[in-house]
Amino acid sequence: MTVKEIMARLESLGSPQIKNIHLKHGVKEPLFGVKVSDLKPIQKKIKKDYQLAKELYATGNADAMYLAGLIADDEKMTKKDLQAWVKQARSGNICEYTVPWVAAEGLHGYELAMEWIDAKDANIAAAGWATLSHVVALKPDSELDLKALSSLLARVGKSIHSSADRVKYTMNGFIISVGAYVTPLTEEAIAAAKKIGVVKVDMHGTACVVPDAIVYIKKIEDRGSLGKKKRTVKC
């Protein structure tokens, strides 16, 4: 499929109702309002295509950018590619999901995430924390720098309440991810969450809530899934 063909297909799948929901959740124009479930058949048909993913992302259309993340050949994505993607990620779903997915499943996720979390741009910083969350969910503990992750937990504890809303949200997600997927640091993550307390984020009138890290980690423990790594973070 070509970019032109895909864009025409996305436009035909768009819905004003879905578009309005996406806008309320921080997705930015331009977009058609396509359900993720309607992107899946296109993803299944294309599978992976490095160049096509880059061309779709470059359209700036949020639906096309999301699809680009689903079909990206992550290991072919260069640092330059990922830096370009994160700078263009203005929509919440792109900076907090699409870019972190591709970065974490590629070769440069951890390195770039550690750079991005220091960014003044809240979207880039949020992408950094989300990428770290996915890295720890994917990589074996033996490939993780546990000392660095411990330091990051402490950093979150000190700075989460003074951070921008979306950065708060992804920092909280990082605590959950470390607690759920890195068992040597589970208790440390829970302790950090207790110290932080309630995390307040303006959800702009949507039904979304900030997950309670302690409760979330406990649920994972209760179902016997602590430390079980993911094969993929894309959905």
Q: What is the pLDDT of residue 204?
A: 84
3-state secondary structure of 169: helix
Helix, strand counts (H, E) of the chain: 14, 0
CA–CA gap between residue 1 and residue 36 (Å, rounded): 19
Q: What is the pLDDT along the chain (235 residues), one digit of tens a residue?
A: 999 999 999 999 999 999 999 999 999 999 999 999 999 999 999 999 999 999 999 999 999 999 999 999 999 999 999 999 999 999 999 999 999 999 999 999 999 999 999 999 999 999 999 999 999 999 999 999 999 999 999 999 999 999 999 999 999 999 999 999 999 999 999 999 999 999 999 988 888 999 999 999 999 999 999 999 999 999 9
CA distances to 52, 63, 158, 202 from 3, rounded to whole Å, are 7, 12, 45, 36
Q: What is the pLDDT of residue 207?
A: 86
Q: What is the pLDDT of residue 197?
A: 96
14: left (phi over 0), alpha (psi -120 to 50) or beta: beta
Parse the chain into domains and list their residue ranges: 1-72, 90-235
Residues making up the chain, counted from first to last: 235
The beta strand positions in 117-184, using DSSP E, are none
> Residues 170, 211: contact at Cβ < 8 Å?
no
CA–CA gap between residue 234 and residue 69 (Å, rounded): 8
CA–CA gap between residue 136 and residue 172 (Å, rounded): 14
CA–CA gap between residue 91 and residue 132 (Å, rounded): 19
Question: Which residue from 234, 222, 228 is spatially nearest to 141, judged by alpha carbons?
Answer: 228
CA–CA gap between residue 233 and residue 225 (Å, rounded): 16
Question: Which residue from 136, 176, 184 is spatially nearest to 160, judged by alpha carbons?
Answer: 176
128 CB-side CA count, 13 A: 21
Dihedrals phi, psi of 33, to nearest 5 degrees: 90, 60
